[in-house]
Amino acid sequence: MSFAHYVERVTDEVVGGFPADVGIYAVTFRIDSIDQDPRFPYVAVGYTTEADAARSAQQARTASDDWETRWSYAYFPETGLEGVRAVGRDPEGAEAHRREAESRGLRYADDEEPDGRDELLVEWFYEVCVAAARRLHGSGRIVEALGRPVPVVLYDMFEPDAMFELTSAANPAALVAEFMAEDPAGASSDRSEA
């Protein structure tokens, strides 16, 4: 099984286990890696709820923070920040990633210069996460689990500028219109027309 298929399968399982009756308005994918080493990536799959957003807005006490308290990972609850499960950190996911990275010529040893392979690993993992989110929409898994479509917000706390492009690419445009309103680039990616 490819690493991408592994991530898709496990994210499907995780989202399928989310509680349907708590007002989830976004699935969250926190893209990360162990010790910030792109050779060991994982995605923490979670969610945030309407109650979480209301609590954050009340704590912020200012209307100008509406978007921030609803969509910024800085305000996400533990279920959105730490996720419900970290996919890729587990032994099966880590091994699938290692095998495929080696076959793609992207693996390097601790004592080697990455020579750009680190950046290629990050880009590949972004692609895997976007594909997994798109599959959740395309397969109907989100609607099946939560009773309605909700966006998947993809973010990397160490590359915050990537958040809008990744989220746009992973979701139908209508689902992320509110989220994309704060995109500093001012426009969503054409890839979001799924």
Least reliable range by pLDDT among 51-65, 81-95, 139-153, 173-187: 51-65
Segments making up each domain of the chain, as ranges: 3-189
Buried b (16+ CB within 10 A) or exposed e, 129-139: bbbbbbbbbee
pLDDT value at 155 more than 50:
yes
Q: What pLDDT sits at residue 60?
A: 80
Q: What pLDDT sits at residue 47?
A: 98
pLDDT tens digits, residue range 68-109?
899 999 999 999 999 999 999 999 999 999 999 999 999 999
- The Cα 129–Cα 178 span in angstroms is 21
Local structure of residue 174 (DSSP, 8 states): G
pLDDT tens digits, residue range 110-135?
999 999 999 999 999 999 999 999 99
Neighbours of 182 (CB within 10 A): 13
Residue 92 and residue 106 in contact, taking contact as beta carbons nearer than 8 Å: no
Residue 121 and residue 39 in contact, taking contact as beta carbons nearer than 8 Å: yes
- The Cα-based distances of 75 to 55, 66, 136 in angstroms read 9, 11, 24
